[in-house]
Structure 1
């Protein structure tokens, strides 16, 4: 689904040239849930922008679904740390926004609005927000807004979901609750996921594969398969094997920070 082949990205900073990524390679299979972790400033978010075509590499190639990425990737949905809901639109209208923008939905949105509305309501129902469809974002908690943001990123049925620290601003209980929501959505819909996160427990609970990045200039220094059987209950987070994996990842990141 995704391949970065020996990618380097450099740009001009205030004090000269900055290399964000150097000789970075990564493969993500179709339907896989991949997580990317590493020290702050290592280029995790830069990697996400490369995959979605928001920026282009200085050298190397980025491909999605076998095609070299030369511009914004239409098959991708995105969600970020801040839900970024439009305050003047209801939750339902926020969720339906991509359908008004992304082809082929854009050209048939008016004619098929009722069907799209049903799709959006069904998706909101999956995350427990169907009864809040007519509310405005400012009438809901941060966790509820983030649920709606996930629905918005999936409403146009993208083959690829890119998540940049989507739960970082939430309290621990709400964060774990949304892990389960994302787990269930992924297992139900079968899309490919790349999750950028600082939370090693989050990565270990959700991912099939965890890619560890070095300090800047970033590159993949280790890829770990996560073998806990699915579907994973939250209780797995308290098992010794899970704790061992998190400690090993933490040790690796401490190592690359000092390198």
Structure 2
């Protein structure tokens, strides 16, 4: 089968006064209809990889790849207008914090309906009905009331559910979730992950789950890519994460809190000199 997404030698750089800053340096992977986790410390290039795939990098960014293909579509060959038609309809991205992603002067319902009317030929009544149905699908109680609220009137957990509803309402084939639970309480995180898991399984979507939480990714995803300094240093099945060979991945695993009294207090500092690219 043709992979849902094929990425070969993806690079993303940003010109500065002191030269080109390479945020992504030759990332390669394929994605089927599965859950792929991308993990690494802050600044490792996780989010920029997702933004480059979506075409959401700033105009001055320098993006290149040997292959950047979504199904049979060459993403690098598309015009900005063609990219906009693709985003939201077949490709969607959930950003990290809903309070910065939702428009503060538009009601929640209006924002979801706007997404629908941009990509589908629906009447306003049908668009509202579909939006309410999607809010209900992400386990929002009383969707009619939430439909008329502004983003500042809902909690962080509900705001993230609204973002999920907005990104999934047009039925995309690929969803990129950029740390969608990092700003949420643990119990709310579990609810959001359960919603994502159920919707991905029911719709047969591909999911790229970007996170710095190795334990969360290992329990939620099928495969894991580990990034360091803009490159993929290791790729393995989530179930085999304990068998990681690269010193950086081992360092991330050693950073996870343990109850055992004999854990090493500074494993990362001890191993930093071993991290070679």
Which TM bucket (shorter chain)?
0.7 to 0.9
2:180 to 166, 187, 199: 166
Runs of 4+ in 1 over 3 A off after TM superposition: 244-249, 251-259
Q: Matches of residues 181-220 of structure 1 in structure 2 within 5 Å? A: 181-214=195-228, 216=229, 218-220=230-232
1:91 to 92, 108, 113: 108
Residues 1:27 and 2:30 aligned together: yes
Over the aligned positions, Cα root-mean-square deviation in angstroms equals 2.6
Q: Is the 8 A contact 1:4 1:24 kept in 2?
A: yes
- Measure how far apart 1:209 and its partner are: 0.9
Note the residue ranges of structure 2 that are not aligned, 5 or more in a row. Answer: 256-267
Residues 1:4 and 2:7 aligned together: yes
Number of residue-to-residue matches in the alignment: 236
> What is the TM-score with the length of structure 2 in the denominator?
0.76
Aligned match of 2:74: 68
**1:110-133 CA distance string (max 9 Å, x none):** xx2222222221111122225133
**1:151-175 CA distance string (max 9 Å, x none):** 0011111111111111111122211
Q: Mean Cα displacement is larger for which, 186-195 or 70-79?
A: 70-79
Aligned match of 1:236: none
Aligned match of 1:222: 234
Q: Is the 8 A contact 1:2 1:27 kept in 2?
A: yes
* Structure 2 Cα separation of the partners of residues 23 and 57 of structure 1: 11
- Measure how far apart 1:252 and its partner are: 8.4
* Structure 2 Cα separation of the partners of residues 28 and 4 of structure 1: 9
Aligned match of 2:258: none
- Measure how far apart 1:220 and its partner are: 1.4
Larger Rg: 2
* Structure 1 Cα separation of the partners of residues 18 and 222 of structure 2: 39
> What is the TM-score with the length of structure 1 in the denominator?
0.81
* Structure 1 Cα separation of the partners of residues 18 and 10 of structure 2: 23
Inter-CA distance 245–165: structure 2 relative to 1 (3 Å threshold): farther
